[in-house]
Structure 1
């Protein structure tokens, strides 16, 4: 399978002086603009997965214009920077509006962070260049790269590997992973099989195949412009789309136990008041009223709704909740802080926690957040100076264990996680996989007030929907300001509160049982396939390219 054009380009004589191609600057500006356009593929854009396919077709076509691994990496990096600086700009709101950081420093931090994130698509593009036999193109001849099956598989694998690394290295930041935009797209059906990164692999492959077909058509002349080189990539791309659209008909999990009546609370407590003495007092009064308003099987509050330790709860507040639970049969999940009582009576190892109250049970269920937010909940080594520039009350928290027991409500095990943990699909899959009795309902509690009225709220909800698709389980999202919602086991939002309002979302949720392939294997499937294909490409791609150049000289 040739990876270079042979038509219309005469062979180079052995002693010929070959001039390398140089890409114009607008090539990289166009890649940056495409990355910015890709942000529109994600929430709140409806059905943005179709737009994402068009963007990735452009990205791969643009990569085939590059002259070697360096220009490919720069193209991928420009695309990534455009995507991230427009897709996570709400971090500026967190650092400046609520963190108290000076505007120039917050802007600089956003740009530097986006540049860091852009290293991963740059890595993917450069790796693709090597493994597709394209890396030396600009050094040896002036012919553009011709898309092939070899290059398409290398692109899909390199892209998936780069996204997995971004979600893993330095505790990971998988926000805006390409698979998330497919929650409403044609590849959503692959979620229970291969997860978010696997969807990104399929997306990249389909885009590369479409470019391959378009390129093959453009090379042909005369009435027979469509041949096997065009038809086969199109057939496979359409088959993958059809599979993605039909796979949701496959049943991986089944209803289990009786449905739960749930009340999800949204206090809309202003972030600037959340930790003030008056704000804490108002939050106690607000949530006591909302919790005891009417019974349900389960009442859920947002993350750190009560910003203190349970031992510090005022006696009237604690008594009111316990009495309400025991007399009405209502279970509760309360967002608060946890700590360890030391020998000297001092509390240490503070945690971001959820506490469960079960009717007629004296003890409390406790879940401690284990995947902490860098700079918000723990300070990476050497960055204390950066945190000191902000006015964030959380600093260095202790971590909970990766797999913790479920909270049981009327015989229904419920798996809980807190805010940032919701974006790590592998960790949620591991919690279900390693449990003696896997939970049938997922619950995420968050405080997205840090990000104001921005696209972060809808993006976070979109990622929660992907977790339901991967696991075949419903999810309840309890947030301080939005997006508070209930999602069924098929990724559909069945109820949602308006953002920045005080309210209670009353829903009936049906738990499920059973393991999807993604729960069983996590990201191992897409990683194994990607590494094998890349190893094959790296071993044979450059050698094939070198052999072809020798043939041309002969």
Structure 2
């Protein structure tokens, strides 16, 4: 066991873990202080590794995680403040339960590490491995929430393009193993060496090629409908007119091949929207428009969806398949919530949203297959691999729920990671912003600022050949993590046996 952390008093250890959690979170957007984040993880692992027992390891790791998630995900209070009178009282509880709940993954990792690596001089590496596995599990347990992971601090660094090799779990391993190695006297230089290697791989990758001379033109529409006004009857026509005005505006260059509106931007139910669709078709002048819409299915349950309109006709649809827990539906005990009249925060139609069948593309004339991600779906790295490789990823979202600071910027950062992982460009139409164009290396090439109404005309960015991560997914990273834990387990059995 390393000696220095064991000299900490229990109280000092908890204070140190809380401070380390805050420092680690500062590597996330919007701060992007990734060097501070790296040192925060090193400090947290140092404190956890010096715990006297697995129980103490759980407590220190839980505090580390709770401080990290409370800092990084403080924007989670924003949806509750859209209607302060009705839901404002829930805001502090939302943050406490989210941060504390997610921190349970880290607490379990700390306890496991102290049990698995008991007496080992390599305890910091064991802590790093268990934390990495905990973060991987957090990405899919109970539908998953892979937001503000350790590897995400590298999105703001020159190492972002290295996601094409490592993927999100691999980047998390790079951050945590480097942090663990920094705590070992004989391996101390290996920690920064691992970080520098990943940064160098990303920095030395060739930039994404520029759009082809004959590339299609895309128009991204941002109507800037503030959430507290979005569904108020007297404001709905204003926001719809803003979107129509942006749709029919004179092109900034070549005529658009496709116009993209944000999530839920059609102001009426799809099957009652004939007049609105004709207005859109008239404004688009024959150009296809990808619109966020809502509709009731044949089962009587509402859908959050994207529809492709051509001359007012719906020619293709995609139904959002990964819904937001407690936002678009209430998990586990929905009938109980129904009885007391409580629904999801983003639930605009009675009954709670029904999930679609799964990931899908829409074939757009002049572009090819476009992979659709509606809001929350962009935080999951694996869905695009479930379809034939698309030419483009389109993210349609309403980030007005998330406030004006960290939430929208973190959401944008995650779409950058999706582009860099796959080598496929992303265009992002966001209701209040940040609408953006992201090239195949994850670089943001153009944006519309938050809380601004307008549009962007952009050339379709070039795609790259399938990346290493696109072909292997998280398999190599899982292999590294599990082999490392197996080695610690084998050592423990030898000692105990």
Q: TM-score, normalised by structure 2?
A: 0.89
- 1:261 is displaced (CA, Å) by 1.3
Q: Distance in 2 between matches of 1:350 and 1:173?
A: 23
2:433 match: secondary structure: coil
- 1:286 is displaced (CA, Å) by 2.5
2:382 match: secondary structure: helix
1:172 aligned to which of 131, 137, 144 = 144
1:132 maps to 2:86: no
- 1:235 is displaced (CA, Å) by 4.4
Q: Distance in 1 between matches of 2:10 and 2:298?
A: 63
Distance of aligned partners of 1:480 and 1:362 in 2 relative to their CA distance in 1, 3 Å threshold:
closer
2:427 paired residue number: 476
1:367 aligned to which of 318, 327, 335 = 318
- 1:101 is displaced (CA, Å) by 4.2
Q: CA contact under 8 A between 1:94 and 1:450: conserved in structure 2?
A: yes
Which has the higher relative contact order, 1 or 2, with Cα contacts under 8 A spaced 6 or more apart?
1
Q: Distance in 2 between matches of 1:166 and 1:37?
A: 21
Q: Distance in 2 between matches of 1:448 and 1:124?
A: 32
1:223 paired residue number: none
Q: Distance in 1 between matches of 2:115 and 2:196?
A: 28
Unpaired runs of at least 5, structure 2: none
1:107 paired residue number: 92
* Map 1:201-212 → 2, pairs under 5 A: 201-212=173-184
1:34 paired residue number: 20
Q: Distance in 2 between matches of 1:420 and 1:387?
A: 25
Pick which of 508-517 and 118-127 moved more.
Answer: 508-517
Q: Distance in 2 between matches of 1:161 and 1:387?
A: 38
Structure with greater Cα Rg? 1
Q: CA contact under 8 A between 2:174 and 2:198: conserved in structure 1?
A: no
Q: Distance in 2 between matches of 1:511 and 1:491?
A: 12
1:234 maps to 2:189: yes
- 1:283 is displaced (CA, Å) by 2.9
Q: Distance in 1 between matches of 2:308 and 2:465?
A: 25
1:282 match: secondary structure: helix
Post-superposition Cα deviations, 1:349-370, rounded to whole Å, max 9, x if no partner, equal: 31101111246x9542111100
2:183 match: secondary structure: helix
Q: Distance in 2 between matches of 1:239 and 1:179?
A: 13
Q: In angstroms, what is the RMSD of aligned CA positions?
A: 2.8
Distance of aligned partners of 1:209 and 1:527 in 2 relative to their CA distance in 1, 3 Å threshold:
same
Q: CA contact under 8 A between 1:280 and 1:307: conserved in structure 2?
A: yes
Unpaired runs of at least 5, structure 1: 8-19, 135-144, 217-228, 343-347, 548-554
Q: How many residues align?
A: 486
- 1:60 is displaced (CA, Å) by 1.7
- 1:87 is displaced (CA, Å) by 1.8
1:523 paired residue number: 474
1:338 paired residue number: 295
- 1:178 is displaced (CA, Å) by 1.1
- 1:450 is displaced (CA, Å) by 1.1
1:357 maps to 2:309: yes
Q: CA contact under 8 A between 1:267 and 1:481: conserved in structure 2?
A: yes
Q: CA contact under 8 A between 2:48 and 2:127: conserved in structure 1?
A: no
Q: Distance in 2 between matches of 1:531 and 1:525?
A: 10
1:304 aligned to which of 239, 259, 264 = 264
